[in-house]
Amino acid sequence: MESSTLPAEKFTPKELVTDQDVRWCPGCGDYSILKQAQTVIPDLGIPRENIVFISGIGCSSRFPYYMETYGMHSIHGRATAIASGLKASRPDLSIWIVTGDGDGLSIGGNHTIHLLRRNFNVNILLFNNEIYGLTKGQYSPTSEEGKVTKSTPMGSIDYPFNPVALCLGASATFVARSMDRDPKHLQAILKRANEHKGASFVEIYQNCNVFNDGAFEVFTEKSSKKNETLFMEHGKPLVFGENADKGIRLDGFTPVVVQIGNGVSANDLWIHDEKDRMKAGILSRFFDNPSKPDHLPRPFGVFYVEDRFCYEDKMQVQIDEMKAKRGEGDLDALLRGKETWTVA
Amino acid sequence: MERQNEVLEKVIIKFAGDSGDGMQLTGTQFTNTAALFGNDLSTFPDFPAEIRAPQGTLAGVSGYQLHFGSVEIFTPGDHCDVLVAMNAAALKANLRNLRKGGTIIANTDGFDPKNLRLSGIEEKDNPLENGSLDNYRVIKIDITKMTRSALTDSGLGVKEIDRAKNMFVLGFLYWMYNRSMEHTEKFLTDKFGKKPEILKANLDVLRAGYNFGDTREEFTTRYTIGPASIAPGVYRNIMGNQAVALGLIAAAKKSGLPLFYGTYPITPASDILHELSRHKNFGVKTFQAEDEIAAICSTIGSSFGGSLAVTASSGPGIALKAEAIGLAIMLELPLVIINVQRGGPSTGLPTKTEQSDLMQAVYGRNGEAPMPVLAAATPSDCFHMVYEACRIALQSMTPVMFLSDGYIANGAEPWAFPSSSDLAEIKVKFAKEKNAGEKFLPYKRDERLSRPWAVPGTKGLEHRIGGIEKQHETGNISYDPANHEFMVHMRESKVEKLADYIPEITPEVGNAKGKLLILGWGSTFGAIKSAVIRARNKGYDVSHAHLRYIKPFPKNLGELLYAFDQVIIPEMNNGQLVRIIRDKFLIPAIPYNKIQGLPFSAEEIYAKIEETLK
């Protein structure tokens, strides 16, 4: 069962909108992510019927209902496992997993890391709002230490996951971060994720204006954004700051913030190399709480890209090898087996 | 030398020794020789639970039971007639299963002080010497010594020589039961063709064993078991798990769908994965997932994409899959879930058999979550019933639970295998066009109440499905109270409607009415059938019916049950089918239970029949 190989019929972002009312809370960051996906996807050259959105459970997981493609709203944490089976069976499909910090890192954490190491060619969009929204406001595995929520009136004693570092640890071949409030950047990252052959993991900071409003404010508000964020571009120096006047330099293995000028030029800075796994590891640890003095800025963009074989391709290679060696399976020979006897 | 020749109807031999003694191979060779000769037979291997249990200990005993005869054989047998004991531990572990007066073939070297100590027997209590075996016929042979002396000039090392000692036993038994060695000679030639010295050693020891019987005067009797009058045809030997794998491949081939098998290793189901992974040239995709939940979820994804998708596990794994099974029921996607049952609860008895999970199969999910449930009766029946499970899943767009258990999964029997053209058609029709004017309704139903299967890649049929309650026909999310009740009834009706498409139940043995019906399901088949035949021969009015379709039941089951004064339901559990039968048919069905990790013996069932009808 292969889908058509004819040139994709063009469709518009409007044609990706379903007849279902979008039911997220007014002001939710999910609206922007949906909009960016619907804007970018028609330009990817993929036939609409070959696109599948699979989600688990949570606010973000309503996403497939609003995309006029094939879709499945499954059970909590399992979208990644379902997508793995679908991709293994149907390498021809473009599969997008929509999950959240609870769905993808807590109840479904195991499937997430295993999908990444197997490197199925799919895209994972993890909406991180650092809270459980659909169950009305408990802390999540990405909530910061001390977080006061309905289930942690004295503050959370859980130490949070660092999703980017976790995925790098699981040998992901594409790891990126973006945010709901920067449409252009998010669109660019979605395109990059799609271009990458292998499992693409995109963490998207997403504001939950009801239960965790302002969680990422410092990265998204004009007043602080430039000083608190670091937009990485491959082959370019790591520069940030209000007037692009600050940069990151590596002092041994230790990243330090330096002021550009006074003899320090952009050329002296760390040049971002997406293919450098070690440096991606260091960048993933730019994870300080922004309220901490002398903290590093939070990186956005592509941390790491690697070319590695995809599970579904090798699976097919083995089938082809076996067919070449033994020929197409003969059912009657299989049923007969090696040894028979005749009763007259 | 003048020898007596005694004709027997059937014999049960148990080969028992240390894991390294090659008893499985010896058993299999004798089995194949018996099969080629035309005996009917049934076998059961009995592996230690530990992978490499210490040599010589009780935990390390590996056994293989063979029941063969000139009459029909339905089970691997209750008590053995001949026990081959390669060491003290093998004797200790199996003596209670030897019938009084039975024969013990003991390797005396395996009863030396060290072996006695390892099996927990004090040296002074050596059973070969203390008279405790006086009620049996004991044939003592120093098999190790005999093997070594047969191979003095072979140039092989002691380790290699000792490895051939199972061939001595095999040769001796071939002599005792008047069997040709031809099959085993050919087998050894194929196996060791490239190692002539090993081949010669094995052949020499095999013949030495045979000649030992032939030349020793103490062996005055040989036995003949004539061929059985079994239905003409071409046969092969098959184990239950192997039959499952073949059934799945056959269903994939006949339906024209790729087979996707997503699973997580678990005893006693893993052999299905092993078998399937060897047949990639059929396009089979096997996926060893990270856990049981991922295993079933991968198959749900695969099924959404248009594959024949199958997952398998045993009780604990099925428990983990329960939520995803519920999702498959809501999605109404075809899926086959195989449960090779074992003793429970929790980890329970992983290597022992039990009909542990019928309730779990029928009821074990959150919400009203009906699903067809099928069960195989014998090793070869696994082929037919798993094929049926695939057919039902694909034609009614539903997950189906297929039940096997450790007993039939590892047991083997002769099988008059079908040809591919004999197998029932499996028609699969993917939706290609909109089914409601300009719209596509993913939950619009056909006469079987089955919904269309529209796979990704099909232009114009883009749609979304999910685990939230859905509106009739459109599949859109719906919280409407009346719609929910309607959909609950709809999903139940869809499963119940299958009763129109499955065979009615007819007694295996006996009549469709009478004093007593023994109603079984699953692997109790052989024991019940043997017992009922025996009871009928003694004049008892008893019949045997066996359920292969448990949800839904065959349409005429009620009629059959009501036609008997009493119904006994033997189960290797604490009474599961009996509760479902009582609930559905309001009859005082009598439970008869055995929960020891062991199958029923025909004797036990016979005794129950006698007790009831006397």
What phi and psi, each to the nearest 5 degrees, are found at residue B264? Answer: -130, 135
Whether residue A221 lies inside any domain: the answer is no
SS3 B170: helix
- Cβ of A89 within 8 Å of Cβ of B456? The answer is no
Q: What is the pLDDT of residue A3?
A: 59
- Tokens for B416, please give them: 């008059």
B463: contact with A, CB 8 A cutoff:
yes
Cβ-based contacts of B282 with chain A (< 8 Å): 328-329, 331, 334
**Strand A254-259 vs strand A123-128: parallel, antiparallel, or unpaired?**
unpaired
Which of 401-440 (B) contact A at CB < 8 A? Answer: 417-420
SS3 A51: strand
What phi and psi, each to the nearest 5 degrees, are found at residue B265? Answer: -60, 135
Q: What is the pLDDT of residue A7?
A: 63
Whether residue A248 lies inside any domain: the answer is no
Whether residue A39 lies inside any domain: the answer is yes
Cβ-based contacts of B252 with chain A (< 8 Å): none
Based on the structure, what is the number of domains in chain A? 1
- Tokens for B553, please give them: 């039941």
Q: Where, residue-wise, is CATH 3.40.50.970 in chain B?
A: 236-422
Which residues constitute the domain of residue A84? 13-215+309-314
The alpha carbon of residue B600 and the mean position of all alpha carbons in its chain are separated, in whole angstroms, by: 14
Residue in A18, A81, A194, A70 with CA at minimum distance from that of residue B306: A70
Q: What gap in Å lies between CA A177 and CA A301, rounded to an integer?
A: 5
Angle between helices B196-215 and B143-150 (to 10 degrees): 120
Give me chain B's average pLDDT, please: 96
| pLDDT over 70 (residue A167) | yes
Q: What is the pLDDT of residue B19?
A: 85
Write out pLDDT tens, residues A291-322: 999 899 999 999 999 999 999 999 999 999 99
**Which whole number is the average pLDDT over B132-138?**
96
Q: What gap in Å lies between CA A62 and CA A66, rounded to an integer?
A: 7
Whether residue A106 lies inside any domain: the answer is yes
Q: Which residue of A has its CA nearest to B257?
A: A1
- Nearest CB among B38, B309, B460 relative to A343 is that of B38
ipTM, two decimals:
0.97
Task: Determine the longest span between alpha carbons in chain B, in angstroms.
Answer: 91
Q: What is the pLDDT of residue B487?
A: 98
Whether residue A45 lies inside any domain: the answer is yes
B38: contact with A, CB 8 A cutoff:
yes
Cβ-based contacts of A2 with chain B (< 8 Å): 457
What phi and psi, each to the nearest 5 degrees, are found at residue B252? Answer: -65, -45
Q: How far apart are the first and last CA of chain A?
A: 44
**Which whole number is the average pLDDT over B420-442?**
96
Cβ-based contacts of B238 with chain A (< 8 Å): 337
B234: contact with A, CB 8 A cutoff:
yes
- DSSP letters spanning B461-502: ---EEESS-B-TBT--B---HHHHHHHHHHHHHHHHHGGGTS
Residue in B55, B41, B40, B68 with CA at minimum distance from that of residue B223: B68
**Which whole number is the average pLDDT over B229-247?**
95
Q: Architecture of B236-422 per CATH?
A: 3-Layer(aba) Sandwich (3.40)
Q: What gap in Å lies between CA A14 and CA A5, rounded to an integer?
A: 24
* Chain A interface test: which of B304, B308, B471 (most A C-beta within 10 Å): B304
What phi and psi, each to the nearest 5 degrees, are found at residue B160? Answer: -70, -40
Judge whether B268 and B314 are in contact, CB under 8 Å: yes
Q: What is the pLDDT of residue A5?
A: 55
Contacts of B490 (CB under 8 A, 6+ apart): B445, B449, B472
Residue in A65, A43, A194 with CA at minimum distance from that of residue A125: A194
pLDDT band (50, 70, 90) for residue B52: confident
Identify the CATH assignment for B4-224 out of 3.30.310.10, 3.40.50.720, 3.40.920.10, 3.90.950.20.
Answer: 3.40.920.10
pLDDT band (50, 70, 90) for residue B217: confident
Judge whether B486 and B479 are in contact, CB under 8 Å: no
Cβ-based contacts of A322 with chain B (< 8 Å): 280-281
Write out pLDDT tens, residues A54-89: 999 999 999 999 999 999 999 999 999 999 999 999
Whether residue A70 lies inside any domain: the answer is yes
Identify the CATH assignment for B514-613 out of 3.40.50.920, 3.40.50.300, 1.10.150.120, 3.30.450.20.
Answer: 3.40.50.920
**Strand B10-18 vs strand B80-85: parallel, antiparallel, or unpaired?**
parallel
| pLDDT over 70 (residue A16) | yes
**Which whole number is the average pLDDT over B32-51?**
86
pLDDT band (50, 70, 90) for residue B334: very high
Q: What is the pLDDT of residue B252?
A: 98
**Strand A70-73 vs strand A51-55: parallel, antiparallel, or unpaired?**
parallel
Q: Where, residue-wise, is CATH 3.40.50.920 in chain B?
A: 514-613
Whether residue A326 lies inside any domain: the answer is no
pLDDT band (50, 70, 90) for residue A1: low
The beta strand positions in B213-330, using DSSP E, are: 221-224, 233-239, 259-263, 285-288, 308-313
Q: What is the pLDDT of residue B391?
A: 98
**Which whole number is the average pLDDT over B122-135?**
94
- Nearest CB among A114, A323, A331 relative to B249 is that of A331
Whether residue A191 lies inside any domain: the answer is yes
Q: What is the pTM of this model?
A: 0.95
CATH of the domain at A128: 3.40.50.970
